[in-house]
Chain A
Amino acid sequence: MMNDAARKPYRVLIVDDDRDLVRALIVRVSTSGFDASAVHDGRAAISTARATLPDAIVLDLRMPGMSGFDVLGELRGDETTARIPVLVLSANIAERARAMALDLGATSYMLKPFHANTLIASLTAIIDAGAQK
């Protein structure tokens, strides 16, 4: 997945407190042509997002300390990070969690367990849509 202008891969920040899942996601996302990096809590997610301005963020909701909802709120409240596409990847099946995440500015919501192809397709779609704006 190459950025045409810079000929550099898109950078994806993965935020999840489950380190096993993060390892799997890094393999999956990297081998699909993205430049993947990861952090394991909400605080680090916000500081890394501000510092590196990734092309997309994959965000878990239930994390100790700062939840994914809080992260979304802060990202969207800050002009520098407000436009970064965020794909929420959560095990929370409740419709209200989806609605809340979308209301807070999530670009897309995907349930765990997910299918790898669907994840990569979704990630590509939100980055493309973001690039067109």
Chain B
Amino acid sequence: MSEFGLRRAPSPRKKHVTRALETRQPFKDEATGSSGPEAESLKPESRSVRTTARSKVTDMDIRTPLKILYVEDNKGDYVLVREHIREYFGSECLLEWAANGPDAIEAIRTSEYDLFLVDYQLAGTSGLDWVREAVVSAAGSPWILLTGSIQPDVDLQALEAGAADYLSKDELSASLLARSIRYSLMRQRNLVAERTLNEVLERSNAELKRLYRTAHQFVDNVSHEFRTPLTVINEFASILSDELVGPLNTEQKNFANTIMNRVEDLSVMVDDMLDMSKIEAGMLSVTRRKASARSIVDKIIHTLDRKAKSSGVTLDIDIPQSLPDVFCDPENIGRVIMNLVVNACKFSSEGGCVKLWAENKPGSSEVRIGVSDNGRGISADHIEGIFDRFNQGDGEQGALRQGFGLGLNIARELVKANFGLISVESRPGKGSTFAFTLPVMEPLSIGRKFLEFVPQLSPHSGLVCLIRVLDPGSGEATAQMERGLYAQLRQSDVVLPLPSGGWVICAALVEQKDAEAIVARLRAVLRGLVSAQEGDKSSVECIGVAALDRNPEDFLELLDDEIRKRATQDSPALALALA
């Protein structure tokens, strides 16, 4: 790559060069005298004399002599340029001359040139016209436009057409021409190098993407392949333990339960592995929706109970029915709770107590869910970095832990993906409390959380649009609308129906440039859904689209304003709900 450009391999067609040149009178040794030397230099064997060397004159690592084609219908101009070139480059440059377009095209077709000099006014036609077709498309070497006098706009036209430079013959000197040639060659070399580098980068990038997809697919498959046999083992152990096929004695029953417990451990490890791979890939599936802490716990309560029982620990669950609904992905949060409870059981001595609790302090827009134990606790040294990967502690504590040491790290990531924060408090000898927050199901506070977490969740910008659906009809229509909107957005985005029922906030993580297209798609979806329900296309409207630029605060204000403005105008009930 340090050599000038990327040269084509010498092609067989070069042997026609001499013949082609012989048919063009203007080429006949105007450059070096009345006979011979130039024609001589064009013979195939003399071409091989051109070697790669550091030219004293051009001060570049390029192949010399340079070969330049000058397309010029005025012989006087040609002679002048030839003298300049000879003065500056001496034998390191070989100038050929074509007096018209067709000759030039033929020369380009049959020979290789390092650079072209092109007269702007070529036999009444603009040099730019044919240059665009011939030089640019066929040769790939840089070209410099020469004009009789400075003409307005020609410089711009020339550069637009791809000229490396533009020179006026009136002001031409040997050094100016030489400098222009050197710069053009240098620039071309850089361009070629850049292009090659880009190609290499693009290829590596594509390969990395492919490997990444393969690895991801592999983890998905491993997870699937593990789950199926685990299900079978677990189910047969459970059939035995439940005495569905005959009575067991106490020891047999304990054995069956042990099988189930260890299957559960293995399942958690498979889940951890899968989650970790998704978190690393930024492909964590998060479908946040309205949920209650109680219902999340109810779904996993059997497993939690069994875990506690097998550790000889009492599990005390205190989740008041009166808690407000939260906004989260219930599967994600179920995994977090499971991780925390399993950890707490492991750290508790037999006969200990693990408490799973949830609270909503008055005036707070968050629900806090926690797991407390009265186990040995964690020393200050160990608390630091406890949510980091593969931190399993050491010594006795480390030995007690099982699995990959991913649990707390995954818990933190899952909580973050659900707009929450996780924390730990512990006193050695007294026990530990791990607790995390979730936003309550209230559009504005979720909007705020969304914006707060945008920088952590994604390098994308945010987008919010308020969608107003007049007369949204049945609850089914609204649910369908929500599903339709979700389908258009990434799963990490937010779709929130406002309390009035006729309003939806979409908060999405999108590239600024894609915002408009996404909004258009959302509109189309809404129109389709509503017209299917109501048969009236005018009953849906997408307004108040705002994209988050750099400042979440500005965006938030805009969101607040929009909602309040629309609310007062259109729905006093909504205004009340937001007040």
Contacts and interface: CB of A to CB of B under 8 A. Distances in A.
A binds B: yes
Range of interface residues on B (Cβ < 8 Å):
20 to 34
Interface stretch (A19-27, A46-54, A65-73): A19-27
B279 to A, nearest CB: 14
B267 A113 contact: yes
A59 to B, nearest CB: 15
B263 interface: yes
Contacts of B262: none
A31 B244 contact: yes
Given A93-B274, A112-B231, A118-B302, A24 B224 contact: no
Contact of B224 (A31, A92, A115): A92
A116 interface: yes
A4 interface: no
A28 B224 contact: no
Contacts of B287: 95
B231 A113 contact: yes
Interface in B293-329: 299, 302-303
Interface in B223-241: 223-224, 227-228, 230-232, 234-236, 238-239
A64 B491 CA distance: 30
A51 B267 CA distance: 38
Interface string B237-260: 011001011000000000000000
A88 B328 CA distance: 23
Interface residues of A, number: 23
Contact of A113 (B239, B242, B263): B263
B285 A95 contact: yes
Give the dominant DSSP class at B's interface. Answer: helix
Contact of B228 (A18, A25, A27, A95): A18
Contacts of A20: 232, 236
A116 B231 CA distance: 10
A114 B231 contact: yes
A76 interface: no
Nearest to B300: A115
B302 A115 contact: yes
A62 interface: yes
B244 A21 contact: no
A91 interface: yes
A94 B230 contact: no
A115 B238 CA distance: 9
Contacts of B228: 18, 21, 91, 112
B235 A25 contact: yes
Interface string B28-49: 0000000000000000000000
23 contacts: A20-B236, A21-B232, A24-B235, A24-B236, A27-B239, A28-B235, A28-B238, A62-B224, A91-B223, A91-B227, A92-B224, A93-B227, A93-B271, A94-B220, A96-B285, A112-B227, A113-B227, A113-B230, A113-B263, A114-B231, A115-B302, A116-B235, A116-B238
